Each structure stands twice: as C-alpha cells, then as structure tokens.
Structure 1
Amino acid sequence: MKCKNVTFSILEKIEKVKLKKETIKIKNLYEKRIQDIQQLELLNNYKKEYIKKIHTKIILGVPITKWKNYNDFISILQIIIRDNKNIIEKNQKIIEENLKNWRKNQNKVKVWQYLNIKNKNKILRIKKIQEQILNDHYFQLKFLKKG
C-alpha cells in the first residue's frame, strides 16, 4: 500500500513539472509570436513607405538603372515578408501543438490527483480499521483479565 501511495504522488509531481515546462514553453512561443508580428508590421510599413518614395521619384523621372534597383529591393523585401509570414504560421502550429500537450498534461495531473486522493482515503480507512481492531483486542484482553 505504501508503494502505491508514493507512486501516485510521484507521478502527480512529474506531471506537474511537465505542466510547468509546457506553460513556460507556450509563454515563450507567444512572446516570440508577438515579436514576429511586430517585425512583419515593421517590414510592411517600410515597404509601403518605400513604394511611396518610388512613386514620387517615378513621377519626377528616374533613370532605368535606379528604377531597376528599387524594383529589386522591393522584390527582396516581399520575399522577406513572405518568409516572415511563413515563420509566423509555423510558430502558430507549434503553439497549437504545445497547447494540446498542455491540455493532456493538465488532464494527467487531474487523474493522478484523483487517484492519489482515492488511495489516501483507502489507506485512511485501512488504518481506521486496523486501529479499531487493535482497540477491540485491547478491550477484549482487558475484559478477560477482569472477568
């Protein structure tokens, strides 16, 4: 019985540690996601501003070589933005997977807590029965000594 009691509590503690690790991991992923979104917004704003500058220079007249350089730069910027979007999507999938794992660990902790409580109650009942038996034996012995 003692082994079961220790086993359930150990398993419960292990699951709680896993749960804490998952929570920290999810928190870090959310912070990274926020940073990636801010970076994406910054890149998009930079692209819009750069396109406005090109538009005004085109209206004033720009040599073909400069226009080609502007166009190449915007193409590279669009590739970087697309890559950043892909990173955000991958991170979102990772966050969802970690949330699933977190929920599973949460359920495991609840199961081990439940089993641990049940086992403790069972042990308490056994101890009470043993104590009652000892008391009964004591009273029988006392009664036999008197009588």
Structure 2
Amino acid sequence: MKSKKICFLILEKIERKKSEKIIIDIQSMFLKKKENDEQLKLLVEYEKEYITKIKNQLLLGIFVYQWKNYNNFISVLGIIIHNHRIMLEENKKLIEKKMSSWSKSQKKIKIWNHLNSINKKKILKIKKIKEQIINDYHVQLKFSTKG
C-alpha cells in the first residue's frame, strides 16, 4: 500500500511539473504572438505608406525604373506580410494545442490527487484496524493474566 501512495504522489508531482512547463510555454507563445502582431501592423502600415507614395509619384510623373523599384518593393513586402500571417496562424494553432494539453494535464492532476486521497483514506482505515487489533490483543492479554 505504501508503494501505491508514493506512486500516486510521484505521478501527481510529475504532472504538476508538466503543467507548469506548459504554462511557461503558453506564456512565451503569447508574448511571441503579441510581438508578431505588432510587427504585422508595422508591415501593413509600411505597405500602405509605400502604396500612397507610389500613387503620388504616378500623379506627378515617374520614371519607369523608379516605378519598377517601388512595385518590386511593394510585392516583396506583400509576400513578407503573407508569410507573417501564415506564421501567426501556425502560432495560434500551437497555442491551442498547448492549451488543450494543459487542460488534459489539469485533469490528470485532479485524477492523481483523487486517487491519492482515496489511498490515504484506505491507509488510515488499515492503520485504525491494526491499532484496534493490537488493543484487542492487549485487552485479552490483561484479562487472561488476571483470570
């Protein structure tokens, strides 16, 4: 019985450490997501700014090589923004996976805790029964020595 008690405690501790690690991972992912969101906003604003610049330049007159440079830069910026959005979606999926694994870990912790408490109650009952048996033997011994 004692080995079960120790086993349940060890399993609960292991699961708690796993859960803490997952929480740290989730926090770092949220920070990364926040940084990526800010970067994406900057990139989108940068793209808008360059598009307005090229429109203004087109109205005033622009050389072909300048237009090609602006156009190439804006297309590269669009590709970067698209890749950044894909990366944000992947990060979002990872966060969801971590959240579900954290939830599973919390359920396991509750299970191990419950099994541990049940085991403690059983051990207490066994101890009480053993004490009662010892007391009964002691009382019988007293009566047999008096009689």
If the length of structure 2 is used for normalisation, what is the TM-score? Answer: 0.97
Deviation at 1:59, TM superposition (A): 1.0
Aligned length: 147
Deviation at 1:8, TM superposition (A): 0.5
Deviation at 1:106, TM superposition (A): 0.8
Counterpart-to-counterpart distance in 1, 2:121 and 2:27: 37
Q: Identity across aligned pairs (percent)?
A: 50
Q: Say if 2:76 is the partner of 1:86.
A: no
Q: Give per-residue Cα distances to partners, 1:13-64, cap 9 Å, x unaligned.
A: 1101111111111111111111111100000011111111111111111111
Q: Which residue matches 2:8?
A: 8
Q: Which runs of 4+ in 1 moved over 2 A?
A: none
Q: Which residue matches 2:99?
A: 99
Counterpart-to-counterpart distance in 1, 2:61 and 2:52: 14
Q: In structure 2, give the amino acid aligned to 1:126.
A: I
Deviation at 1:73, TM superposition (A): 0.3
Counterpart-to-counterpart distance in 1, 2:30 and 2:146: 77
Q: Which residue matches 2:42?
A: 42
Q: In structure 2, give the amino acid aligned to 1:141.
A: L
Deviation at 1:143, TM superposition (A): 1.6
Q: Which residue matches 1:112?
A: 112
Q: Which residue matches 1:31?
A: 31
Q: What stretches of structure 1 of length at least 5 have no aligned partner?
A: none
- The range that moved more, 54-63 or 70-79, is 54-63
Q: Which residue matches 1:144?
A: 144
Deviation at 1:145, TM superposition (A): 1.6
Q: In structure 2, give the amino acid aligned to 1:75.
A: S
Q: Say if 2:71 is the partner of 1:63.
A: no
Q: What stretches of structure 2 of length at least 5 have no aligned partner?
A: none
Q: Give per-residue Cα distances to partners, 1:127-146, cap 9 Å, x unaligned.
A: 01101111111111112222
RMSD: 0.7
- The range that moved more, 54-63 or 80-89, is 54-63
Q: Which residue matches 1:135?
A: 135
Deviation at 1:76, TM superposition (A): 0.2
If the length of structure 1 is used for normalisation, what is the TM-score? Answer: 0.97
